[in-house]
């Protein structure tokens, strides 16, 4: 059944959440939505967006900090964006961008309902954005908030007008189980993700697991400590297919975070039927509870014990993973009559 709602979607980033936003866009189109999407021409999936059957507005935005500041102070892009979106009933912002509030405020003034995904409750160590102030403004300039973990929802002072939906996950087939066994860390290399603790845990384990290696896959700066033996590093931005293949071929996936809201790679690991090792921080346990997991403390000894336990867990293999369409289904079935003004 075709949705009666006219939906606009805004994502001005270029990668990171590009894959899940593209998936959400495709799901909304499959649900019969009248959809328009605003993205940056720097988006890594621009070609794939252009091949979908919906209206698309690519914006040429500067990528450097100085250029973004100039665009923020003199937002020439606003007129084109508003002209494109003013016939929408709802406009949804999936990932925050520095320029989003400029658009959102104009939409609200034109009585368009603004929905915003808020992913974090505060800035994490090693990151410069989003700040508490910017998160507060995201909520202020929204008619409705969507969180992706109940943990984040409980950390933020908010109105009653919010929902909690897990991150979108695409249905797919497991691609590989071959090769020498390895334990996997995957994601951006950031201090709050506990990579140093994991390396110390591996020093405890390496002599007792002679057939295994540790794979660190992601982009960023690795800790400046001597790496133990049998460690492989893939220090670059990874495509979604590469991430999925690494997860599929792993013996277990480790998320030794010191801080967290939720984790995209954790959702992929659970969907692929892998046992995950997680610290009890943020919304990680909330995400993992429907899969196979081992809960550990934020210490090298506890992480080492958790990895050993995870390797001993036998779970039935699966060929095809499930698809999570909750968010797309919610947006497609919202009633058409609502008040655009944010709830006080």
Please give the pLDDT value at position 42.
Answer: 87
Task: Name the phi and psi angles at 44, rounded to 5.
Answer: -65, -15
> What domains can be seen in the chain, in order of their start residue?
6-168+324-332 (3.40.50.2000), 182-312 (3.40.50.2000)
* Of 74 and 187, the one with more pLDDT: 187
**DSSP H or E segment with residue 142:** none
Burial class of residue 168, CB neighbours in 10 A (0-12, 13-18, 19+): buried
Please give the pLDDT value at position 176.
Answer: 60
Please give the pLDDT value at position 329.
Answer: 93
- Residue 202: pLDDT band (50, 70, 90) is very high
243-265 pLDDT tens trace: 989 999 999 999 999 988 888 89
Please give the pLDDT value at position 137.
Answer: 87
- Residue 179: pLDDT band (50, 70, 90) is low
**Whether residue 339 has pLDDT greater than 60:** yes
d(CA 152, CA 146): 10
167-176 pLDDT tens trace: 888 888 876 6
Write out the DSSP string of 282-335.
TTHHHHHTTS-EEEE-SSHHHHHHHHHHHHH------SB---B-HHHHHHHT--
């Amino acid at each position: 059944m075709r949705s009666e709602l006219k939906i606009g979607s805004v994502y001005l980033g270029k990668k990171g959440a590009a894959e899940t936003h593209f998936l959400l866009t495709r799901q909304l189109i499959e649900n019969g939505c009248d959809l328009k999407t605003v993205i940056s021409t720097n988006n890594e999936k621009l070609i794939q967006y252009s091949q979908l059957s919906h209206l698309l507005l690519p914006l040429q935005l500067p990528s450097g900090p100085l250029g973004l500041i100039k665009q923020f102070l003199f937002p020439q892009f606003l007129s084109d964006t508003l002209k494109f979106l003013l016939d929408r009933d709802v406009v949804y912002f999936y990932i925050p961008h520095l320029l989003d509030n400029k658009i959102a405020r104009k939409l609200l003034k034109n009585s368009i309902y603004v929905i915003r995904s808020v992913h974090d409750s505060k800035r994490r160590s090693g990151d410069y954005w989003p700040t508490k102030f910017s998160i507060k403004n995201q909520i202020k300039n929204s008619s409705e908030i969507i969180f992706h973990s109940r943990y984040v929802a409980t950390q933020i002072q908010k109105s009653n007008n919010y929902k909690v939906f897990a991150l979108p996950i695409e249905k797919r087939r497991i691609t590989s189980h071959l090769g020498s066994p390895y334990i996997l860390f995957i994601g951006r290399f950031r201090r709050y993700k506990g990579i140093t603790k994991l390396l110390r845990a591996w020093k405890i384990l390496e002599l007792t697991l002679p057939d295994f290696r540790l794979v660190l896959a992601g982009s960023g700066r690795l800790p400046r400590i001597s790496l133990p033996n049998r460690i492989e590093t893939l220090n670059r931005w990874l495509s979604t297919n590469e991430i999925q293949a690494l997860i599929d071929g792993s013996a277990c996936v480790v998320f030794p975070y010191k801080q967290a809201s939720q984790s995209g790679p954790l959702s992929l690991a659970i969907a692929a039927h892998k046992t995950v090792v997680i610290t009890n921080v943020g919304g990680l346990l909330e995400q993992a509870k429907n899969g196979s997991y081992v809960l550990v403390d934020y210490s090298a000894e506890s992480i080492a014990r958790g990895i050993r336990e995870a390797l001993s867990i036998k779970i039935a293999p699966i060929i095809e993973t499930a698809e999570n369409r909750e968010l797309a289904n919610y947006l497609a079935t919202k009633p058409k009559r609502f008040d655009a003004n944010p709830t006080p």
